[in-house]
A and B are shown apart, each in its own frame.
Chain A
Amino acid sequence: MSDHPSHDMLFNETIPDIFICQTRWDLRILVSNLPYEGLPKTKQPNRYFPGNAVKTTKYSLWFFIPMNLYEQFHRFANLYFVGLAVLNFVPAVEAFQPEVAIVPICVMLALTALKDGWEDCRRFRSDRRINHTSCRVYSRKVSGFVERHWKDVRVGDLVEVASNEIIPADLLLLHTSDLNGVCHIETASLDGETNLKRRLVVPGLNTQDSSFEPQNFHCTVAVEKPNDNLNQFKGYIETSDMKRLGFGIDSLLPRGCTVRNTDLATGFVVYTGHETKSMMNKNGPQYKRSKLECKMNIDVLFCVILLFSMCLIGALGKMSLNVPLFLTPGSHGHMDSNPLSGLYMFFTMIILLQIFIPISLYVSIEMVKMGQIFFITNDVDLYEEKTDSRVQCRALNIPEDLGNIHYVFSDKTGTLTENKMVFRRCSVTGTEYSHNENGKSGKCKFPDRKLLQRVLAGGGDWDGCGGIRRCEATDLYLDFFLALTVCNTVVVSTATTARAQRQRVWHQSTSEIDISAQRCYVAESPDEAALVHAAKVYGFMLIARTPNSVKVRLPHGVELNYQVLDTLNFDPHRKRMSVVLRHPISGEIVMYTKGADYTVMELLDFERSAYKLNTASTQRHLNWYAKEGLHTLCFAKKVLSESAYKNWSLLRQEALAAIDNREELLMETAVNLEKQLTLLGATGIEDRLQECVPDTVMALREAGVRLWVLTGDKAETAINIAHASRLLDQEDLVIHMNTDDKAVCKSILDRSLEEGRRHTRPGYPGLSIGLVIDGHTLDMALQSDLVDRFLELARLCRSVLCCRVTPLQKSTVVKVVRERLKVMTLAVGDGANDVNMIQAADVGIGISGQEGMQAVMASDFSISCFKHMKKLLLVHGHWCNSRLSNMAIYFFYKNVTYVNLLFWYQFFCGFSGTSMIDIWLLIFFNLFFTSTPPIMFGVMDRDVSAETLLGLPELYRTGHESEGYSHFTFWIAMLDAFYQSLVCFFIPYLTYQGTDIDIYTFGSSMNTVSLFNILLHLAIEIKSWTLVHWVTMLGSVALYFTVTLVYSATCISCNPPSDPYWTTQQQMSEPIFYLVCVITTVVALLPRYAHNALIYIKGAHIFHWPTFLQPAPPNQPSPHTVSLSLFHSLSLCLPQVHIPCAEQHAGPHPPHTGEASGAAGPCHPGTVDQGVEGVQRRATGRAELPETDPGAGAFQNHTYTLHHQQSPRNPNSECSPAPPQC
């Protein structure tokens, strides 16, 4: 410090000044650490800010046990166990030896602690790795950058990052090696977006001169307090000459991102460690409770009630029974009074019968879900080779909800479609050019021959010197393609080879390498890339882009370097962007504007009548494009005079320099400039349907899932995509709702409802109904007085399209449907606009596509394309649901069956709480002997093969019919459990009554009988036996006999008063024991087995208990044809079922049957655009569109019944799974 007195002075003067300004925002005032280097910590100006080390671990080494215990005791189940263990230490009520009673809870706690510890250890290791990554921090001592660990970076440090390095903390960009002060970063780790983002040195900070000396950075930095908003950041730098320079998110290099395309960047650390944007955005997997678990909790409550009533019976029994006098004939020792002993007995019974409440069920379910998720994530069918990504489960506890979905809410762009844009059509100066070949190949490779000739002819004599005004017509063509080339934010990347390779694999359309030039276009939106590529085909090639210039090669090889005067970026309010250029030769200032058709059309200069005709035909083309489902964009230009530009430029500068209201001012200036435009043309970009989307949609529809599409697009586009993806069929009744008047909205709803009811009347072979609703109308329909009507209508509809909806509306719709209709909802989307919806639904699925990872981050499951939904829902969903519900039911059954033996025994031991089974064996029975088979059952059982499930989507409905887990099945299981426990108790009882059998021999026979009974019961339930099943089942039996025999041979008097010594051996030497085992097991399982066999033999006509007893409503597709109990037969007997891949390669258009306007109801055909209500039959024939093969049309009307063992589906399909081995 002493050798730099000037710094001292500087800060003494500056700091107080800045504190005065703190009133405006909640500010954080920072200065460079450099002047204080080497000083003790108390002198450091930034000492109050946390370090850059991150700690994501929950526990510390020393306090692991207490902290973990504290955590665990938040769970009810553990408290229950501890309560019981404590109760057992009360001598009056003890049922077991106290030491033994704490074993279950200890095992449970230890297992959980082990799991937590292991997870924490992994987090610790990853933290350590991150914290010890090295980076370069400037040091005054060596006057250069020195290597430091990430954890040692502090706020106020100056950090240098090189290309391809990861940014260690949130940095304010001060200097880059780029002359323009640009630094490109890749934010994939933050939001998953792989495109390059441009970051700028703090504007006005004059550091781009050759030598930036961190030592000389004496400015004070004021930034807002740390927050988790990734897209917002503001602050200012106060330079030593008291000038304030504002900056925004454009100057922030967030931690975790990677620097690309920039050799060196130097930044000032503003946030560290847990205060960085990336860390504040990190949150663990969400906890969701599945529907099954909610139902199960109710049944657990039933168990509690049952337990209490059984304990009450015990207590009453004890009270009514006089204490046998042989216990206390002496004078000393007193007996408790009857009511008191009854009370004690109540608690003793609770301890004795504690496993009646299947607490271990929760642990088992967690393990089962882990196994299920392992299988889901390991499914090779859900792996996408192009992106090398598999399905990810971010919510670990709702896999079974996938099997019980009623409503699917889907985004359109990027979810149903590829979001890979293909330049399909364009209209220049009112002439339409179709690019059919692009449409066929799916790439922007082929120019339209007519247009190419036109461009080449027009520009043939144009060699760069003739000026722009040479020929009006050519001019417009030239301008049109120039606009395509330059009016965007596409970056020409000179990426490193590794990155280029990766990009080639990952993003074939957004960034394609120009092999010859090693040039790669990185665009923020796929539309832009498609346009640039399209222009390239016509010879207009974007060669380089810097913030101030753009270099373009024209068709005849001339390279022009346009000066970019300004870029008016896209924003959602204007829905357009503009670029202001200065022509390198003529010096003319031109603005090119690109935007949504309706915004650009409004801004046209209609004074110039010459364009009117063009405008009208372009509009016609645009409408046509929209109907075809193309994304439309309009291009326009405007020539500015020098003076006009200068005036505007001044305003613009002011706006740029503004600190408050900067956004508003900038927008205002943009709007000021973008008017009186000249229309150049329009483009139609095709967003192709993803692979197998129609097939997936069909499958989901057959599975009884209602599909809603929520899109921000226009109704025409949405309807078109809906037809292409089979959401709507040609003969469907489509109801359009588009109105601004609430009264009209209400009347449409009423009339549509009437119409809808007519068509869905029971027994009436009505039409399927589709509903198309506009965002405005949706708002009205969701108001409280109309929402019921709307939902009722929606319930009658097979598919619903909501167009022009905002992200907020998307989530509102999901919430309303979910809460009002009490159904399971699933939302699937790929973009940031779907995040709300994904979070609102019961199950959120994110598609990791072209639009970044925000949807994925918010989702419960992430997949890489829509077609994976089919297997995820139909197969994994069904499996997880049926496995878990069967397993849970079995678990209840198992515990009740076993523990009831103890209950029945109370009638024969004077209600004294004696357990006739040795307590260790009792605990082991649940803990080891019979714990693995149900878990294996829950993870691995296959009631129906994957091929059958995919081939007969109707089977998915069994999840809806709650055949899996319902209170009914629960009670059936309970009844069965009571019956079986009675059998298991009373057959040995009747056999041994009156003999000299002793307690533990009696118990040991019962234990063995129960083991066989419980395992064989599971064996009946197991639908397919693999090696794993055999090993676990036989292993359990072997384990039981080994442990029991060893235990009863070694425990001489190890566990008084129980006396298991030699009992099992004694027992097994008597033939009668085996006879008892055989008959008890047979009698216990006979009803269930006979029932199953009868059902099987009867075939399709009698069903599982639930459907057997509850006839399905008549108009519902009969569940009888798809009952679970038939799954054996299905999976065995059905021939190979294949699913055709509908014809998306032939074009997205379904067959058209010509106009068949509404015969039903008050109908205004073709009123879509006028926004008038109407119920009409959807039919918009377009003869020129390709017809599809008739087979696909035939198959959509086909309904499956069991008797249709032949599938009409096309076996040579690429969407079908590998042919099943039958």
Chain B
Amino acid sequence: MPKKELETANRPDNTAFTQQRLPAWQPILSAGIVIPGFVLIGLAFIGIGVALFLTSRNITVLEMDYTGVETTSDCYKCSAGTLPNCVCNLYFTLNETFPGTVYFYYGLSNYFQSYRKFGASRDDNQLSGDTYYFTSPLAVCTPYQYDVNNNPIVPCGISANSMFNDTFNLYQLVNGSKTVPLDGRGIAWWSDYNIKFRNPTSDPLRNAFNGTVKPPFWSKPVFELDLTDKSNNGFLNQDFLVWMRRAALPNFRKLYRRITGPDYASGLPPGNYTIEIAYNYPVMSFNGRKKVVLSNVSWMGGKNDFLGVAYLVVGSLCIVMSMVMLIVYAKFKFPDDV
């Protein structure tokens, strides 16, 4: 019945939205959709799981603890931390070729880089090359902001100070010992190396650090970290960059080197090897462990069986679920048959 506008001024808009009649799709959980759905998901997961598992199986990992807890270990002598410049050796034998590009990691256990204070204690301004902060580091760096003589510490803070300083050399024991070349280039994140961390612009680099002192744990100042490669110094030192990217979990490994060289580019041949370790880093006091990890990688990263197994388990679970549902469905669909 047509009415004058005035008389129906209060009439609500009769739209699908205001009347809550928007066309709606209702997800239907009917057996015809859910059961095949579960089967499909299950099959897909099992497929992925198998692929992951096989990939993971094909990754070779060699982990060797060199903390020196056991008296039999060559590094036992160094673990007390009393000997200066202690060097120990780690021997290992490969019965078959260690295939692919081999990555050389060092690993630490029970080491909390994720500790809040550890992470907070650094000055990103320093690390981006801002020399103002060389003379007055941020207060978050305490207790490594200034040394006892009130000289600013660069790089300041707990993170930098506790940088891992064991060094490794790898030798193949064939006809005496043959150095396996280790390549330390490009082991840090591209973004860290090129954008986040910057050296102060001064030549030579050390001039920028006048009036500052090195972190107390360090044996060398930051501009002399790598004496062999001039560009690998300062805050752009690859090992430093790797260390400063804090590990998420207390048991972690960090990339130390890639094994390169004409003889080893496609893997380590079988034979006897030794790693010569300059044992500097103390971990015994907090029950930490140090290890060396040699590993090749695949598209899924390092060796990890978990994900493959998980996919397999969940996939099978989905299949089981679908069967349970089928039984339930049959039972209630045809109740007389049961």
Q: Residues of A with Cβ closer than 8 Å to B?
A: 95, 322, 324-330, 332-333, 375, 377-380, 383, 385, 388-390, 505, 905, 908-910, 912-914, 916, 940, 942, 946, 987, 989-999, 1001-1003, 1019, 1022-1028, 1052-1053, 1056-1057, 1059, 1061-1062, 1066, 1070-1072, 1075-1076, 1079, 1082-1083, 1086, 1090, 1092-1094, 1096-1099, 1101, 1128, 1131-1132
> Closest residue of chain B to A384, judged by CB?
B10
Q: Is the CB of A390 within 8 A of B248?
A: no
Q: Is the CB of A1093 within 8 A of B114?
A: no
> Closest residue of chain B to A1025, judged by CB?
B25
Which of chain A's residues have a CB closer than 8 A to the CB of B3? 385
Q: Is the CB of A1097 within 8 A of B34?
A: yes
B92 interface residue (CB < 8 Å to A): no
A916 to B115, CA, bound (A): 10
A1071 to B128, CA, bound (A): 31
Q: Is the CB of B112 within 8 A of A324?
A: yes
B95 interface residue (CB < 8 Å to A): no
Which of chain A's residues have a CB closer than 8 A to the CB of B72? none
List 4 additional contacts besides A324-B112, A996-B252, A1053-B127; criterion CB under 8 Å.
Answer: A332-B148, A378-B13, A996-B105, A1076-B307
Q: How far is the CB of B49 from chain A (nearest CB, A)?
A: 9
Q: Is the CB of A1082 within 8 A of B10?
A: no
Q: How far is the CB of A1140 from chain B (nearest CB, A)?
A: 23
A1003 to B249, CA, bound (A): 11
6 contacts between A and B (CB under 8 A): A912-B114, A991-B306, A995-B253, A1023-B26, A1059-B246, A1093-B29
Q: How far is the CB of A180 from chain B (nearest CB, A)?
A: 34
B218 interface residue (CB < 8 Å to A): no
Q: How far is the CB of A74 from chain B (nearest CB, A)?
A: 35
The 10 A-B pairs at the shortest CB distance, nearest first, are namely: A333-B143, A1002-B248, A912-B116, A1053-B124, A1024-B24, A909-B114, A1096-B29, A1026-B22, A1062-B191, A378-B12
A1023 to B18, CA, bound (A): 18
B57 interface residue (CB < 8 Å to A): no
Q: Is the CB of A914 within 8 A of B114?
A: yes
> Closest residue of chain B to A990, judged by CB?
B306
B255 interface residue (CB < 8 Å to A): yes
Q: Is the CB of B12 within 8 A of A1099?
A: no
A1092 to B217, CA, bound (A): 59
Q: Is the CB of B12 within 8 A of A910?
A: no
A383 with B11: in contact, given A992-B248, A1128-B28 (CB under 8 Å)? yes
Q: Is the CB of A999 within 8 A of B122?
A: no
Which of chain A's residues have a CB closer than 8 A to the CB of B311? 1075, 1079
Which of chain B's residues have a CB closer than 8 A to the CB of A1066? 189, 191
Q: Is the CB of B248 within 8 A of A998?
A: yes
> Closest residue of chain A to B335, judged by CB?
A1101
Cross-chain contact of B8 among A388, A996, A1092, A1098 (Cβ < 8 A): A388
Q: Is the CB of A383 within 8 A of B317?
A: no
Q: Is the CB of A389 within 8 A of B10?
A: yes
Q: How far is the CB of A390 from chain B (nearest CB, A)?
A: 5
Which of chain B's residues have a CB closer than 8 A to the CB of A1083? 310, 314
Q: Which one of A95, A914, A1001, A1070 has the highest number of Cβ atoms from chain B below 10 Å of its Cβ?
A: A914
> Closest residue of chain A to B16, judged by CB?
A1026
Q: How far is the CB of B11 from chain A (nearest CB, A)?
A: 6
> Closest residue of chain A to B300, judged by CB?
A1072
Q: Is the CB of A326 within 8 A of B307?
A: no
Contact bitstring B113-134, A, C-beta under 8 A = 1, else 0 = 1111111111111011000000
Q: How far is the CB of A938 from chain B (nearest CB, A)?
A: 13
Q: Is the CB of A999 within 8 A of B114?
A: yes
Stretch at the interface among B175-183, B222-230, B268-276, B324-332: B324-332
Count of inter-chain pairs, beta carbons less than 8 A:
248
Q: Is the CB of B302 within 8 A of A995?
A: yes
B285 interface residue (CB < 8 Å to A): yes
Q: How far is the CB of A956 from chain B (nearest CB, A)?
A: 18
Within 8 A of A (CB), among B156-182: 158, 162
Q: How many of B's residues come within 8 Å of A, CB to CB?
A: 92
Q: Is the CB of A996 within 8 A of B19?
A: no
Q: How far is the CB of A564 from chain B (nearest CB, A)?
A: 37
B20 interface residue (CB < 8 Å to A): yes
Q: Is the CB of B302 within 8 A of A912?
A: no
A875 to B249, CA, bound (A): 52
Which of chain B's residues have a CB closer than 8 A to the CB of A989? 249
Contact bitstring B91-115, A, C-beta under 8 A = 1, else 0 = 0000000000000010100011111
Which of chain B's residues have a CB closer than 8 A to the CB of A1093? 29, 34, 325
Within 8 A of A (CB), among B16-40: 17-20, 22-31, 34
> Closest residue of chain B to A1101, judged by CB?
B332
Cross-chain contact of B301 among A322, A909, A1070, A1128 (Cβ < 8 A): A1070
B245 interface residue (CB < 8 Å to A): yes
Q: Is the CB of A327 within 8 A of B158?
A: yes
Q: Is the CB of B328 within 8 A of A380?
A: no
Q: Is the CB of A1002 within 8 A of B11?
A: no
> Closest residue of chain B to A1022, judged by CB?
B27
Q: Residues of B with Cβ closer than 8 Å to A?
A: 3, 7-14, 17-20, 22-31, 34, 41, 45, 48, 52, 105, 107, 111-125, 127-128, 140, 142-144, 148, 158, 162, 189, 191, 195-196, 216-217, 242, 245-255, 285-286, 299-302, 304, 306-307, 310-311, 314, 317-318, 321, 324-325, 328-329, 332
Q: Is the CB of B329 within 8 A of A383?
A: no
A324 with B111: in contact, given A379-B19, A1072-B307, A1075-B48 (CB under 8 Å)? yes
Which of chain B's residues have a CB closer than 8 A to the CB of A940? 20
Cross-chain contact of B114 among A910, A946, A990, A1079 (Cβ < 8 A): A910
A1132 to B8, CA, bound (A): 35
Which of chain B's residues have a CB closer than 8 A to the CB of A1132? 26, 28
Cross-chain contact of A1075 among B8, B246, B307 (Cβ < 8 A): B307
A1097 with B325: in contact, given A997-B249, A1025-B27 (CB under 8 Å)? yes
Which of chain B's residues have a CB closer than 8 A to the CB of A905? 114
A1132 to B28, CA, bound (A): 9
Q: How far is the CB of B281 from chain A (nearest CB, A)?
A: 9
A319 to B195, CA, bound (A): 39
Q: How far is the CB of B256 from chain A (nearest CB, A)?
A: 10
Q: Is the CB of B11 within 8 A of A1094?
A: no
> Closest residue of chain B to A915, judged by CB?
B116
A1028 to B301, CA, bound (A): 40
> Closest residue of chain A to B124, judged by CB?
A1053
A1095 to B281, CA, bound (A): 59
Q: Is the CB of B332 within 8 A of A1098?
A: yes
Which of chain B's residues have a CB closer than 8 A to the CB of A325? 285-286
A991 to B249, CA, bound (A): 12
Q: Is the CB of A916 within 8 A of B248?
A: yes
A1099 to B325, CA, bound (A): 12
Q: How far is the CB of A950 from chain B (nearest CB, A)?
A: 13
Q: Which one of B10, B116, B119, B247 has the highest number of Cβ atoms from chain A below 10 Å of its Cβ?
A: B116
Cross-chain contact of A1097 among B196, B299, B332 (Cβ < 8 A): B332
Which of chain A's residues have a CB closer than 8 A to the CB of B310? 987, 990, 1079, 1083
Which of chain B's residues have a CB closer than 8 A to the CB of A1002? 248-249
Q: Is the CB of B122 within 8 A of A1056?
A: yes
Which of chain B's residues have a CB closer than 8 A to the CB of A1128? 26-29
Q: Is the CB of A327 within 8 A of B325?
A: no
A1052 with B314: in contact, given A1024-B26, A1057-B122 (CB under 8 Å)? no
Q: How far is the CB of A46 from chain B (nearest CB, A)?
A: 41
A379 with B251: in contact, given A333-B142, A912-B115, A1057-B120 (CB under 8 Å)? no
Q: How far is the CB of A1136 from chain B (nearest CB, A)?
A: 15
Which of chain B's residues have a CB closer than 8 A to the CB of A942? 20, 24
> Closest residue of chain A to B123, judged by CB?
A1056
Which of chain A's residues have a CB closer than 8 A to the CB of B191? 1061-1062, 1066
A1099 to B311, CA, bound (A): 31
> Closest residue of chain A to B249, judged by CB?
A908
A371 to B39, CA, bound (A): 40
Q: Is the CB of B18 within 8 A of A378?
A: yes
Q: Is the CB of A1071 within 8 A of B300?
A: yes
Q: Is the CB of A1094 within 8 A of B112?
A: no
